[in-house]
Structure 1
Amino acid sequence: MLISPPFLPDTDPVSNDPACTDPMMDVVDRFALGNHGVYPIAMDGRWHCGTHLAPHPSTEAVRAIADGEVVAYRVAAKPVSDGREAPDGSLPLNTNTGFVLLRHKTDTGDGRSITFYSLYMHLLDMRAQEAIHAQPANPPAVGSGSALPRWLLRPTEGVKIGDGKLKVYRKDMLGYRGRRHGHPHLHFEIFLTDADFDAYFGRTQLGRAEPVTPAGADCWGRMYYVIPGEQEFVSTPPGKASASYFPELQTGSLAAGSTLHVEVFFHLGQRYTRSWIEINGQRTLLTPTPVKDPYDDYEYNLFRRATALYPRCPSAGYELLRFGRVLSPELPALTATESQTWVAVTFDAEGNQGYLDISRAEIQKLSDADFPRFTGWQKIEEGRPPFTADGVCDHQALRQIVETVESAMTPEQRLLPADQQAEQLTAYIHGNEAVRDQLKGFVCHAPSEWDKGNNTQRYGRLNEPEGFFGKRKAIDPDGYSKFIGLVERLQFLEQVPGLGGGQKFWFFHPLAFIRHFRRCGWLSVRELTQTLPRRSSPEAGGHIPWQRAYTRWTEGAGSPKSMPPGIGMAMNRMWLKYGFTTPLRQAHFLSQIFKETGALTLTTEGGGERYFRTMYEVITPEEAGDDYDTKLPWLKKMGLLKNRDRAAYSAGRPDDVSDKAIELGNTEEGDGARFRGRGLIHLTGRQKYTDYQKFAGKDFTADANSTLISAQAKFCTDSAGYFWTSKFMNSKNSGAYRGGFNIHRRTDLGSGYKNVLAITKAVNGGANGLSERFEYFQHAYYLMGDKKSSSNPETRQLEPSE
């Protein structure tokens, strides 16, 4: 899922602070207003299942949060009045009625499709919008990060319903924030229908009181351990006293009846944890800031650690260390002793850390994919008839917040208009971090305020003697009628097929929803398709139309020794396992494998028997001389000539090939062809195949199995992840270069040309195809990152209209 907030202010995409792993969301969170528009309840007791955002600067464009289709929209030529008179008796035009409603469908895992809606309300009117940003005379049919689409530049007569053909792409401009009651803001919502909610969240643990380790492989984001009481923590795991992987810590134990919740995440190569202790239903945070693992560069050295601690199958150990459990069913099963996974955990209020074996069955292992209760996610449903179908919130926890604010208000404040009284509620919540965080986890089952059907039934209680407007009759006799009048000018949902009729929806705090799913690195096939540029230089991919790109990710390239089918799904699984969890890491990886595979067309090194023998086994002086006579330009391009004339090359080349054969471990006749380069990033030679065989617990050296690395998508991708994380780079830590295991050490450093060069040298050994790799990187990083506009719009993939 590729998702981003509705505003994309300029900010550094990466922070060194482990408490700030998503700087973009941290900035946009501060756009939430402190004086009105709190989620999910209004001061008058109505459900308010959105949040109000005001960007800085005010000219920051509103953008689509994900790829989707237009469900409904309204473009207003000018604002309307909210019905309240100004001191001079006029009716100021202080409310914008423009909106866009989008439907998004994407994936978060294998068979894990999710459909949700995003609503952008109070978009600026045409007249004011033109003053901010002049639009082209001939606007495009499909918008972009720098231009509005044609359909948003024509005032509509009322509400327009999408026909399924109007598509938007993440980061496309939708307009600018407008006003309501004169207050500048965007009202922003995310919701799901009952059917869509049940289809996706019915398979999570949202709403489950006692979470358990899931049986499947749906796992992403941060990991969580649920550790019951009476567990013992040790200073050093048994038999590991001399291991450098386990610096000495403290001993301790959990009290009976307590539960320890541990959050685990990786950031810039380090492992961090946060811990909470729960006693009698009360949770206490033990770690005010994330605690770094005592073993430095934990993630960067994960391959090395897994190889040392899990010799029978390091690949399984790698998953145990990252996820706390093995996700890949094809890996050899480890015994209970072989599966022991000792990790460092903070276990008390003094900050003491000890080691615990989390492989034990009584310790539950979960992830962000599970939406566990103890991370704050709660389902909020009303349960008191007869008012469960109206628009007034009766949920006890939410009503208590409103009543707390009401009791603290002065008599003068109680006389203020509704929108000004709302400032008291918002100020209370913004000043109370615990309440604010709690509300962000509420998933509310409520009717939409934008459905005109049954307004009297939904809002009538507000006008009763004890209702919000009823109590204000003496000072504001027309308050309720003005409220309903403005609401009806804004409402539209009753006109949308399938969404009207007064039905309830499941609402999320929209920024919490986005922040959470940004941790999911899984890309749908449609999103993967867009990673291949539509147009690039001939040396890169040339012209790759949408359907061709889609086919390469799904069906393969369609010829022997080419890309196998299912590469997209396999790529996602590999990314999850080997920590390709950020747009920067994913874009760097794609830039390399697109060049290595000819834009996803080839996974096998080409050549005949003579080529593989004379490159990787043995060559005679006569054969070397013949190559000099017939392939001189190629020898120069490959760097094999080394400034030698024919005589010197013929005499020296046999030793070169002999040295290469020794380096590759090619000891038997035919090894050159047998162990030719295969995979997204080629493994070449008997030794490399053997090393990967030891890691994966799978035979790749038998004649019948040597082709698996290129013929089966799971090995084609997994071998590339293995190559990436097992690569040892022998260099000084300077600039874009970092030495040690794992190419992630270099990918995390940046997105410049020098960074692509440093990674190319780690993958390719030189700078072959550097220009094309940088082309690929720029396109992929724009697509997956938060940059607002592309440096080359011609690379953009647009799905053909049906």
Structure 2
Amino acid sequence: MIISPPFLSQPNIPVYSDQCVSDVMPGGIVGSGAFPVSQAMAWHGGIHINAPAADEPVRAIADGIVIFRRDGGTARYDAQDHSTGCVVIRHKTEIGANGANAVEVVYYSIYQHLRLLDANLPAVNQAVYRKDKLGLAGTIYGRANCIHLEIVAGDADTRNLVGRDTGNLPLTSDGRTDAVYGEVYVLVPAKSPYHSAQPTGATLPAAAGDSGGADLIVGIRYEAANATLTTYQLTGEVVGAAIVETDAEYNLYTEANTRHGRLSASVQTTSSPSGWYELLRFGRKLGTDPLPNDAAHWRKVAVPGQPGGVWLDLNASNTRKFSDADFPHWSGWKLIDDDTQDDNSQCSSALIDAMLAPAAQPTTPPSGPPNMNGPSVPTPQAPENATTTPEQKAANRKQNLCKPAVQAKLAKTVCKFPTEWAKDEVRKRWAWTRDKGNPHMPYPLEDETDFTEMSDFAQKLCFWEELPAEDKARLTIKHWHFHPREFIKHFRKCGWLGKEELAQLLPRRSYKYRFTPFRADPVNIGWATALQRFSIYSIEFNKAIRKYGISIGFRLAHFLGQIYIETDIVRTMREVGQGRKSSNGNWPAPAMEFYTVFFGRGMMQLTWPANYDGYRNFRTAASLPDSGGSYVDQWGRITTTSTHYWANPRDGGVQQLWFPRYDPDIIASDAHNSCDSAGWYWVSKAIGNRQTNINQVCDQGMTSAAIGRASVLVNGGGYGYFERQGYALFAIQYLSEASPRTDEVQIQISHGRMTASISVNYQPQRP
């Protein structure tokens, strides 16, 4: 899933942070289109957003199909203008996989109150793409440059999006594995033993204490090279201060090998650095590489009474593992489906009411004299009881609704209630606004003329009856509503790319460069070819970029820029020539005469026995078992007695026996091996005596120098240096929040003594 906000008004920031998303989506405040209820306690399924500028276009938040469009117009109500332009988009994408089956989800985005639809907006049933212009923001209650944005989903899709459709997250077993992203969480049971220093030996020392009388949640978030470990109560309150492990992500590969290496030789047969790598990143093993069931995941975390941190085993047998994909309740997420009065639009949810009711008062008054110099403290609302009048209850809820802390909690609710956009339902659903004695509606629309004026206006905004039958059936009239800003921020953590999103990352037109003399040969790839090339690798590719932290920020664009040249734009997982002389009697690549049968294979084209062996050491023989003497090579170059240069002899490489190790061809023939080996190489690359993580280079941004440095780390020389620059720039254009473009530009790139003008063609890859 790739998703962006509806306004992209910060052109100097290519990849938006959460703060950027909030900055370009201002609004949604009480009295001006808040979610999920209004001051009159009516359901409100979206938020009103202020356009950053009058001419800032409203854009599609994700790829999809236009299922409804209505040209801009004006409707007056209560002596104020409202724009009536509207676009509804169906989005279908993926957020993970269950085995070999992708987890597909469908959700809908609704853009109301557009004053003008874009001239290039596709017709109904036609595709629209993320960042495409939909139109211009209109007027709401006389206020210019505003839109109403809504994101909704049906029951089955909400179960796939959230992982459940009712209640809090169950804690009796681990969370979902078909989708894992964002912060990972470990439930630590009450009274879990802790240690004052990290245990490293085979014998566990006596515990220094325990974690206290309540279950705790430990969150692990990898970001900006570091790991941040935060301890939460089950209610969401943070315990102590978060503990930051500096450069922990860059060092994950080293740490995984270290922890595996501490095990005894006999235990190592049930372990692998790969398994440890997943344990450290995800809090559990998601793949198939071995890891002892009792592998101790020691991390330093804060617990009650120990704010400086103690060492807990986050993989003890009674711990439970989750991630942001589980929408955990300690992060604030609540599913609301307890409004049984579906025949009207008034919120009758007891769960929402409880969030708006006065907070419980402390049982003991604060001690000490009052602070006369400090800020004034609001007078607490009196607890409600049997004598509290309906009017006072309504006043309490309206007052609390306006509090930022309450709004933040409401933003994390996912609420199920009927659409407000069904024309045939308007008069019935809003009939309650005519009733006397409703404390939330002190001025009811008793007069038929007033009510008809309101309902006629509301019907001008409706569209439900005009949606395709398949979408009405998928949603049903009562469906789930997400806070749009929170939905966008949440799923930007996902990082899983659907098949069509992957296909769009293959450039439609690119160039291969030849020198002496210099020329640029065009390479054209159509949509069908692009879709086919990634299709067999899509799930394993996503697993690899998730495992090795490549799916975030600039890293994926860098990664794609490298694998495209290595695989001839995902055309082949075997190096051209397969380690043999060409027809003219020359070796096609430097040092090929030495690595021969250990030619490049997989997404990153593993080359030389040393790399094949290093990858086997990472996953161990349990995952890459010995061959038994049979190898796939039509020229018979690997036998039970053949020796091979482990590395370039010019760099000191010597010949060794490869047998009985695994058949190197499975790096190319198996999709998991092809993708995972690329991720392994990416995080394991060593230069000289210094460990260098290519992700560290990627985090420097999309500069020519950073792309070039990654190229040298991957290839070791200058092969494809210029092509890699163009591929990476094309990829970041698609992945980022940069405005769409279709042009071809010339960029001057230098490498060594050579400077070349390369072409980057930004024509989108589309059907």
Return the TM-score normalized by structure 2: 0.79
Rounded Cα–Cα distance in structure 1 between residues aligned with 2:317 and 2:287: 18
Aligned-partner Cα distance in 2 for 1:541–1:344: 54
Structure 1 residue 582: Cα displacement: 1.1
Mapped to 2, the partners of 1:424 and 1:479 lie a distance apart of 28
User: How far 1:488 moved relative to its partner?
Assistant: 1.4
Partner of 2:455: 484
User: Which residue is 1:549 aligned to?
Assistant: 530
Cα separation, partners in 2 of 1:472 and 1:260, compared to 1, 3 Å: same
**How big is the shift at 1:596?**
1.2
Q: CA deviation at 1:791?
A: 6.3
Distance 1:309 1:609, change over 3 A: closer
Paired with 1:371 and 1:474, the residues of 2 have a C-alpha distance of 40
Match of 2:74, as an amino acid?
A: P
Give the 3 Å change call, closer, same or farther, for CA 601–483 of structure 1 in structure 2.
same
CA gap of 1:83–1:31, structure 2 versus 1, over 3 A, is closer
**In structure 1, C-alpha distance between the alignment counterparts of 2:524 and 2:255, rounded to whole Å:** 43
2:552 matched to 1:582?
yes
The verdict on how the C-alpha distance between 1:199 and 1:253 changes in structure 2, with shifts beyond 3 A counting, is closer
Say whether 1:444 aligns with 2:415: yes
Distance apart, 1:80 and its partner CA = 2.3
CA-to-partner distance for each residue in 1:38-67, whole Å, 9 max, x for gaps?
A: 100012221001011103233321110110
Which segment is superposed worse, 184-193 or 699-708?
Answer: 699-708
Structure 1 residue 478: deviation in Å?
5.5
Cα distance between partner residues in 2 of 1:510 and 1:611:
58
- Equivalent pairs, count: 660
Ranges in structure 1 where 5+ consecutive residues have no aligned partner: 85-91, 127-146, 153-161, 243-247, 410-421, 555-565, 613-625, 641-655, 662-671, 732-738
Residue 180 of structure 1 is aligned with which of 140, 153, 170?
Answer: 140
Question: One-letter code of the match for 2:680?
Answer: Y
Identity of aligned residues (%): 29
Change (3 A) 1:215 1:40: closer
The aligned counterpart of 1:601 is 571
Match of 1:253 in 2: 210
Counterparts of residues 438-517 of structure 1 (less than 5 Å): 438-467=409-438, 471-472=442-443, 479-498=450-469, 503-517=477-491
Q: 1:392 aligns with which of 336, 346, 362?
A: 346
If each structure's strand is expressed as a fraction of its own residues, which one has the higher value?
A: 2
Q: Deviations over 1:546-588 (max 9, x none)?
A: 000111112xxxxxxxxxxx22221111111111131411111
Deviation, 1:397, is 4.0
Q: Displacement of 1:512 after TM fit? A: 0.9
How far the C-alpha of 1:277 sits from its partner, in A, is 2.3
Q: Which letter maps to 1:775? A: G
Q: 1:723 to 1:489 in 2, by over 3 A?
A: same
Q: What is the match of residue 115 of structure 2?
A: 124
Specify whether residues 744 and 403 from structure 1 end up closer, same or farther in structure 2 by C-alpha distance, changes over 3 A only.
Answer: closer
Q: CA deviation at 1:545?
A: 0.3
Label 1:700 to 1:788 Cα distance change in 2 as closer, same or farther (>3 A).
farther
Q: Distance in 2 between matches of 1:9 and 1:567?
A: 35
Corresponding residue for residue 651 of structure 1: none
Aligned AA for 1:604?
A: R
Please name the residue that 1:155 is paired with.
none
Structure 2 gaps, min length 5: 262-267, 360-378, 382-393, 514-520, 632-662, 745-760
Instruction: Tell me what 2:617 maps to.
Output: 694
Write the mapping of 1:325-474 to structure 2, written as runs, cut at 5 A.
Answer: 325-329=284-288, 331-332=289-290, 334-337=291-294, 339-348=295-304, 351-384=307-340, 387-399=341-353, 429=401, 431-433=403-405, 435-467=406-438, 471-472=442-443
1:222-241 alignment to 2 at 5 Å? 222-239=183-200
| AA in 1 matched with 2:616 | Q
Code of the residue aligned with 1:751 in structure 2: it is: M
The 1-side partners of 2:357 and 2:601 are apart by: 67
Deviations, residues 594-630 of structure 1 (Å, cap 9, x unaligned): 0111111222234477649xxxxxxxxxxxxx99xx7
CA shift, 1:168, in A, is 0.4
Aligned to 2:244: 292
Give the corresponding residue for 1:756: 707
Give the 3 Å change call, closer, same or farther, for CA 301–795 of structure 1 in structure 2. Answer: same
Is 1:149 the counterpart of 2:120? The answer is: yes
Q: What is aligned with 1:528? A: 502
Q: 1:316 aligns with which of 260, 275, 280?
A: 275
Q: Hey, what's the Cα distance between the residues in 2 that align with 1:473 and 1:306? A: 66
Give the 3-state SS of the residue equivalent to 2:230 in structure 1: strand
8 Å Cα contact 1:593-1:681 kept in structure 2: yes
1:786 alignment partner in structure 2: 737
Residue 404 to residue 796, structure 1, CA distance change in 2 (3 Å):
farther
Structure 1 Cα separation of the partners of residues 166 and 220 of structure 2: 18
- Deviation string 1:61-113 (CA, Å, 9 cap, x unpaired) is 1110110001101012x4221242xxxxxxx6x21000100000000111211
The 1:475/1:504 distance shift into structure 2, 3 A limit, reads closer
Change (3 A) 1:404 1:488: farther
Shift of 1:354: 1.4
Residues in 1 aligned to 2:217 and 2:171: alpha-carbon distance in whole angstroms: 12
Q: Say yes or no: does 1:706 pair with 2:664.
A: yes
Matched, 1:720 2:678: yes
Structure 1, residues 240-289: CA drift from partner, whole Å, max 9, x if none? Answer: 599xxxxx9x9542222x121122111121101222124xxx5432256x
Task: Identify the structure with the greater helix proportion.
Answer: 1
Q: CA contact under 8 A between 1:38 and 1:426: conserved in structure 2?
A: no
SS of alignment partner, residue 89 of structure 2: strand
Contact 2:683 2:694 in 1 (8 A): yes
Deviation at 1:350, TM superposition (A): 5.8
- 2:155 touches 2:165 (CA, 8 Å); kept in 1? no
Q: What RMSD in Å do the two structures reach over aligned CA positions?
A: 3.5
When residues 23 and 473 of structure 1 are mapped into structure 2, their CA distance, relative to the original with a 3 A threshold, is closer
Match of 1:600, SS?
coil
Q: 1:594/1:112 Cα in 2 relative to 1: closer, same or farther (>3 Å)?
A: same
Write out per-residue CA displacement over residues 88-146 of structure 1, whole angstroms, 9 at most, x where no aligned residue: xxxx6x210001000000001112110000001101136xxxxxxxxxxxxxxxxxxxx
Structure 2 counterpart of 1:571, which letter? Answer: F
- One-letter identity of the residue aligned with 1:391: S
Distance 2:165 2:681 in 1: 33
What is the identity, as a one-letter code, of the residue corresponding to 1:100? V
CA distance 1:470–1:234, change in 2 (3 Å): closer
**Aligned partners of 2:620, 2:451: CA distance in 1, in Å?**
71
Q: Name the CA shift for 1:202/1:34 in 2 (closer, same or farther; >3 Å).
A: closer
Is contact 1:346-1:353 (8 Å) kept? yes
Asked if structure 2 preserves the Cα contact closer than 8 Å seen for 1:747 and 1:755, the reply is yes
Q: 1:393 to 1:547 in 2, by over 3 A?
A: same
3-state SS of paired residue (1:177) = strand
User: Are residues 54 and 578 of structure 1, via their aligned partners in 2, closer, same or farther at CA, if it must alter by over 3 Å?
Assistant: same
> 2-side partners of 1:252 and 1:788: how far apart?
55
Q: Distance in 2 between matches of 1:229 and 1:567?
A: 43
Q: CA deviation at 1:208?
A: 3.4
Contact 2:95 2:498 in 1 (8 A): yes
Distance in 1 between residues matched to 2:546 and 2:765, nearest whole Å = 27
TM-score by length of 1: 0.76
SS of match in other structure, 1:221:
coil
What is the Cα deviation at residue 776 of structure 1? 1.0
Shift of 1:730: 5.4
Q: Which has the larger displacement, 217-226 or 320-329?
A: 217-226
Instruction: Report the CA distance shift for 1:400/1:368 in structure 2 as closer, same or farther (over 3 A).
Output: closer
Corresponding residue to 1:680 among 597, 603, 608: 603
Q: Is the 8 A contact 1:306 1:317 kept in 2?
A: yes
Q: State how far apart, in whole Å, the 1-side matches of 2:257 and 2:522 are.
A: 37
What's the offset of the Cα at 1:591? 0.5
